[in-house]
A and B are shown apart, each in its own frame.
Chain A
Amino acid sequence: QQPVQSPQAVILREGEDAVINCSSSKALYSVHWYRQKHGEAPVFLMILLKGGEQKGHEKISASFNEKKQQSSLYLTASQLSYSGTYFCGTLGGTGAGSYQLTFGKGTKLSVIP
């Protein structure tokens, strides 16, 4: 089942912070985060594994709460280059689909001057 991302879209001014959430209805082994700019390939940001480890990439960090089956992506002091659509991909569940990443519908982030 597809994870649910929220919000669907957000507009920020440069320097503001944002949080993007990703929730799943099934037990998760890991959560992947990617950013895609319009017409381009998605770019890998980070992977979070079970254990609640928080990871960072520049001024972007994320957390993973496997009990709640949720992950959050934190963007601090946003820059114009952060604009794009952010996707979470979840890995988990049981059966043949357990090793497939299932992506959310994305959160469109627009950073304006």
Chain B
Amino acid sequence: DGGITQSPKYLFRKEGQNVTLSCEQNLNHDAMYWYRQDPGQGLRLIYYSQIVNDFQKGDIAEGYSVSREKKESFPLTVTSAQKNPTAFYLCASSNGQGATLNQPQHFGDGTRLSIL
């Protein structure tokens, strides 16, 4: 079955440490997204990519970095510059490039990141 796989499910970060969250999709989707979810805040966009080797900042990109070297992979690095990284992180993908007017986003099961 096609889908989006996020790993690990739970992740702990020490102070001053960078950590990388994995996101892989086999849906052959062009666009991929990273969201951060905090209680009562909804989903906020961190980064998105509409095509390989290209990505754009979302609303809360500070302290995060991404890469898109392969169509199926869009890893997110939470750097030490992100002072409040504890949250639920969701990766999503959608079909087609450009505007996502009529393309639903498909989500992975998420990674829950906590500070040690």
- Interface residue SS majority, chain B: loop
The answer to whether A42 touches B43 (Cβ under 8 A) is: yes
Determine the distance from Cα of A28 to Cα of B42 in the docked complex, in whole angstroms: 19
Determine the distance from Cα of A103 to Cα of B50 in the docked complex, in whole angstroms: 19
Determine the distance from Cα of A106 to Cα of B106 in the docked complex, in whole angstroms: 18
Interface size class of chain B, counting residues whose CB lies under 8 Å from the partner chain? 20 to 34
Residues of A within 8 A of B42 (CB): 2, 87, 103-106
Interface code B32-50, partner A: CB below 8 Å = 1, 0 otherwise?
A: 0001000011111100101
The answer to whether A99 touches B98 (Cβ under 8 A) is: yes
A18 interface residue, CB < 8 Å from B? no
The answer to whether B107 touches A47 (Cβ under 8 A) is: no
The answer to whether B105 touches A32 (Cβ under 8 A) is: yes
Interface size class of chain A, counting residues whose CB lies under 8 Å from the partner chain? 20 to 34
Determine the distance from Cα of A105 to Cα of B41 in the docked complex, in whole angstroms: 5
Determine the distance from Cα of A96 to Cα of B40 in the docked complex, in whole angstroms: 26
Residues of B within 8 A of A (CB): 35, 40-45, 48, 50, 56, 58-59, 90, 98-110
Given A91-B100, A103-B42, 7 more A-B residue pairs with CB atoms under 8 Å apart are A2-B42, A32-B104, A41-B90, A44-B106, A91-B101, A99-B50, A100-B59
